[in-house]
């Protein structure tokens, strides 16, 4: 199957052949980081900006990158819930990386509502495929993806500036080149060939689908994104303990964004569950996570700030 933690040789080969590789941290890339994190966990230093910076950049520098664009989240669904905290982390990463010779830009992006309309495992893969093929592109996801990708193309010299980088990304999406490259990468890492065309049959589906409707009608004015994430965990789509097994089929789709009108005929989300009891728990979580009002709020730009240690 798909090698999410390939050895260094396979990682390099896939990047050389396809131009990209979506992987997790491998055992032979900055191996001391895991031990240091375990020490941080028992010394109350998990939130230390200096140690977070060291943990992140140890892997990036060990991988031999030429350029790095960091997406630093802020808000109720982020590790750093305040803008000041996110700005401190984004600045630290950009400054230290650039001082180490790695051209780096940090973008602070909003996580006070879900980035996309799906949350889970298989449902997020489906959402990503829909984005690549143009079947559906969630507005916030598109804005952040374009901003990050455009910065990376400019930083690497593949585009003269971010605007030109964004135009190149749009062309890759329009021509299908982006979807084709993703499919090649999946196959090169051991996944199925023609994954996009066969995704409907390959991706697991939950047996119970239920709409999570609010108890009153109104406009969404705020979302506790952490609570939404915990709803997915309780469905089985995430771990609360290291030994827990993840159910890739469960999750949430059609998540209502801030500003959306919801009611009995316009749900907060669709719940994909293994059982009706699990779905009921998720619905209660979602109702508690969403705040409604009589008047709508205007959407905000999810890209809040750009920070560079030194201009690329």
pLDDT of res. 131: 99
Which pLDDT tens digit goes with each residue over 104-160?
999 999 999 999 999 999 999 999 999 999 999 999 999 999 999 999 999 999 999
pTM of structure: 0.93
Percent of the chain at pLDDT above 90?
87
How many whole angstroms separate alpha carbon 214 and alpha carbon 255? Answer: 12
Confidence of residue 267 (pLDDT cuts 50, 70, 90): very high
**pLDDT for position 29:** 78
Query: Quick one: pLDDT at residue 165?
Result: 98
Is the pLDDT reported for residue 70 higher than 60?
yes
Q: Looking at the predicted structure, is the pLDDT value of residue 312 above 50?
A: no
Domains, the chain, ranges and CATH?
8-199+301-308 (3.40.1030.10), 206-293 (3.90.1170.30)
pLDDT band at 308 (very low <50, low <70, confident <90, very high): very high
The pLDDT, as a whole number, for residue 310 is 63
């Amino acid at each position: 199957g798909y090698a999410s933690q390939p050895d260094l040789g396979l990682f390099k080969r896939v990047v050389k052949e396809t131009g990209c590789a979506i992987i997790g941290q491998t055992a032979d890339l900055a191996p001391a980081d895991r031990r240091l994190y375990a020490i941080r966990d028992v010394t109350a230093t998990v939130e230390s900006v200096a140690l977070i910076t060291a943990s992140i950049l140890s892997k990036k520098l060990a991988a031999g990158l030429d350029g790095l664009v960091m997406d630093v989240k802020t808000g109720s669904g982020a590790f750093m819930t305040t803008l000041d905290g996110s700005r401190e982390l984004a600045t630290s990463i950009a400054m230290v990386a650039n001082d180490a010779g790695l051209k780096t830009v940090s973008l602070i992006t909003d996580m006070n509502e879900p980035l996309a309309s799906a949350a889970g495992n298989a449902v997020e893969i489906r959402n990503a495929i829909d984005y690549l093929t143009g079947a559906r592109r969630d507005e916030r996801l598109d804005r952040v993806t374009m901003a990050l990708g455009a910065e990376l193309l400019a930083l690497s010299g593949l585009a003269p500036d971010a605007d030109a980088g964004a135009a190149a990304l749009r062309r890759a999406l329009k021509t299908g080149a982006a979807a084709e490259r993703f499919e090649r990468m999946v196959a090169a890492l051991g996944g199925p060939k023609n994954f996009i065309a066969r995704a409907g049959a390959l991706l697991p589906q939950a047996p119970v689908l239920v709409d999570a409707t609010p108890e009153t009608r109104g406009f969404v004015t705020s979302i506790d994104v952490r609570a939404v994430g915990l709803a997915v965990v309780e469905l089985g789509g995430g771990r609360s303990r290291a030994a827990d097994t993840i159910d890739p089929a469960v999750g949430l789709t059609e998540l209502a964004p801030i500003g959306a009108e919801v009611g009995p005929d316009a749900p907060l989300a669709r719940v994909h569950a293994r059982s009706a009891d699990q779905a009921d728990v998720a619905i209660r979580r979602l109702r508690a996570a969403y705040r409604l009002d009589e008047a709508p709020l205007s959407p905000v730009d999810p890209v809040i700030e750009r920070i560079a240690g030194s201009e690329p």
